[in-house]
Structure 1
């Protein structure tokens, strides 16, 4: 009797992943609408529609939506997409379920550059953006160069160790500069808390090209990342150029997380928790995981921003604080569950 081998049931898996992708798109749309509707003053769907489609210059609803909530919501959408995709990339390249974009020294480099900008008298958020992005870029280049060493390229372990070392070094420099200057500390606290409030349309316009380029590189890096997940030696045997794939992936993370951090300050835990939620829907295939992580990041960030507006209204709780309140328990749970390491 000849045994027959049944073909893998790829069609149901693909349908499930497509269903998850569509569900996340719907979730992003609903979060977008909620972000326009809810806040210190609740607006009806009709008021939102008229404010966006047929604005009345004399209407308070039009002023609220077009001048305050719409720019903030668009920026939140971009930042969520960027941090979600960057988190999936970092966890894939380091094969570490506890990795997030800050592991490359991005947050520490951006923070150090912002403090330097304040010392030189730079004022205004648009001025900080370029300093923060440059700091994130230089810190990431330092991490990648140290991790690469002399043996042809970085490994997951050397990336993590180099990132931790550079982050600790830059954080110590930042704290030493702030301790001796109260004025700089007061200005820095506004940026470092991680928030979407106070950011106008020009901020979204300035970071959008970097985020778009980063998303394109991330999607292009997905097939190579699947091969790298089997180990560098296996990836090379499959014809994959490991150094080139790592370079593309790290470049994408720098563009995505660097632009997001420059625009809104360090927003912790989003890049950590979102890829795990997306992985439960799509499995480990990065061709699906990266876009789903990006969409889940956008929906999560917008919902967190809405929660921050509602819990203490008419005042606001910064988005970074809301995400930390949710992300810290998740992080502790993830550390305690050793099985999470095996699943990557």
Structure 2
């Protein structure tokens, strides 16, 4: 969730927590606010309304994009095609939640409802999307990726075909499972629209694996992957990075009240009501985000070590069985139709990870996790 959906204190806490933990924060489609500027590295998300990089008519403005990414530690740009919580729906920020600060950050008018369309206006097919990707790369010099929920495989087959000759392509693909979302989606969408992460990811990954393209893309997973067992399975299936949203929000005080759209979030996380938004102490909450990320990393590393590898990225589908109660264990690769070698890093990438891990301190059980 972005600034506008989240309070300034919540965004501040997440960014400072990312700085403390040494991870990146995704801005969400609401652009880059003052609260994102606490030293944490950023991924700038471009949504269908082009917030923060739009002209007065709402059209994409490359000069504004370049200015905003140069103003903060932005490490990559993610184009949001759709999200698992509400694919194909778009969104609405009610006028009551649009403060002068939000209006300035997003480049929108105050006093009017702010709609995020369900689709982009800068491109309308795979070919024009890749032209847009290359244009952004030329303008900013940053890695450019896409985020999407998954349904019809046709788009992904077209994308793999278009990337086959190596002349154009995305640097990363974030697959957003339909079970994701932080509470601002209609229940029918969050419950029943778009594939859950595992079948979604494996459907797309298989298309790129058959084309021999998996090592040319950084794979990002999203959809309840902030739980260590879910993240470990995602890494085994071929994910290189995970997005975490719901769990980080729980760390800063979200209680899943599902009142995000009302401006009356009782814990002050998803509101612009100044009386409520004062509740979260960003310094305290930042430390809790840090504690959560560090604990998640420790768990991922300890289980990976127990499987005999240096890093979660070195896990494979051969390391995981899925259980049917206590009656049957089926290898993960068999469940999702993986061919031999799928989900496994190339030798060069695996060796680079091992070299990096050998140069880091061990994740011993006595590692101190600060408490607050």
> What TM-score do you get using the length of structure 1 for normalisation?
0.25
Q: Say which structure is richer in helix.
A: 1
Q: Say which structure is richer in strand.
A: 2
> What TM-score do you get using the length of structure 2 for normalisation?
0.23
| Higher-RCO chain (CA-CA 8 Å, sequence separation at least 6) | 1
